[in-house]
């Protein structure tokens, strides 16, 4: 049965977290059942307060082969990294 169902990626917003975080994937015939299944598969230990599901086929992904062109130029521009500023203790989640 599951072979005919499309794959969905599951994102859970945790109790304390700010943004939805990818937790895994599952199979389901449609979005409503994907939410139900995500609830059953990924929130059994009270992990979340919100669920997103998205068809894996709808995700546009960068190609591993483009890694160099996409990410390496940032490496040698040290002035882009905010490492010169001391962070105040109170500032979290930055």
Provide the minimum distance between the beta carbon of 7 and other proteins in the complex, in angstroms, as a whole number. Answer: 11
CB of 5 to other proteins, least distance (A): 7
Residues lying near other proteins in the complex (CB under 8 A) are found at 1-2, 5, 26-29, 32-33, 36-37, 39-41, 44
End-to-end CA distance of the chain: 44
> Does residue 13 sit in helix, strand or coil?
strand
Q: Using the minimum distance from each CB to other proteins, give the nearer residue, 45 or 77.
A: 45
Rounded to a whole number of angstroms, the minimum distance from the CB of residue 12 to other proteins is 15
Nearer to other proteins, 24 or 73 (CB): 24
Task: Quote the CA–CA distance of 80 and 59 in Å, as a whole number.
Answer: 29
Decide whether 33 or 54 has the Cβ nearer to other proteins.
33
- Sheet containing 21-27: give its strands across: 21-27, 7-14, 48-55
Nearest of 61, 48, 44 to residue 20 by alpha carbon: 48
């Amino acid at each position: 049965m599951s072979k005919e169902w499309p794959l969905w990626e599951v994102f859970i917003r945790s109790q304390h977290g700010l943004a939805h975080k990818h937790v895994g994937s599952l199979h389901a015939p449609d979005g409503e059942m994907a939410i139900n299944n995500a609830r059953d598969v990924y929130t059994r230990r009270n992990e979340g307060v919100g669920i997103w599901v998205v068809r894996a086929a709808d995700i546009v992904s960068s190609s591993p082969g483009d890694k160099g062109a996409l990410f390496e130029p940032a490496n040698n521009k040290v002035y882009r990294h905010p490492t010169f500023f001391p962070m105040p203790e109170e500032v979290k989640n930055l």
